[in-house]
Amino acid sequence: MTKQEIIEWLEGEIEGYPPRATGNECEEFITWLASRILESDRGALVEAMREWITQRGKQTILAVRIAAELKLQELKPDIERLLEDVRAGKAFWPYYEEFIVPALRRIEAN
């Protein structure tokens, strides 16, 4: 799969997720889907998550979670820049640091 195919696939799955479910349930499902292509399409998955992270949009924190769960160390610099932007008040509310710092620790843990 290409980066764009992955983005379209995951965004379609998010859109189609039952509205009665919680955001956490949806994130768990999307992370599981991403894990299914980790071996076959790692490079494209990393690029797709990088795009979501750098967009600073509604999928950014989901991409951080996917990076942490799947140990996508290639995204560590992108997530560190996101954390800097959060701390500087350039992206998201300050409390988002509470999600980003543990995600960085999980990426670093082997």
Chain segment 33-57, per-residue pLDDT in tens: 999 999 999 999 999 999 999 999 9
Q: In the chain, where are the structural domains located?
A: 3-108
CB neighbourhood size of 15 (10 A): 7
Judged against a pLDDT cut of 70, whether residue 110 lies above it is answered with: no
Q: Mean pLDDT over residues 71-87, rounded?
A: 97
Q: Are 53 and 76 in contact (CB under 8 A)?
A: no
Burial 42-71 (b: 16+ CB within 10 A, else e): eebbbbbbbbbbeeeeebbbbbbbbbbbbe
Average pLDDT, the chain: 95
The CA distance from 98 to 37, in Å, is: 28
Query: Computed from CA positions of residues 50, 73, 70, 86, in that sequence, does the dihedral angle turn out positive or negative?
Result: negative
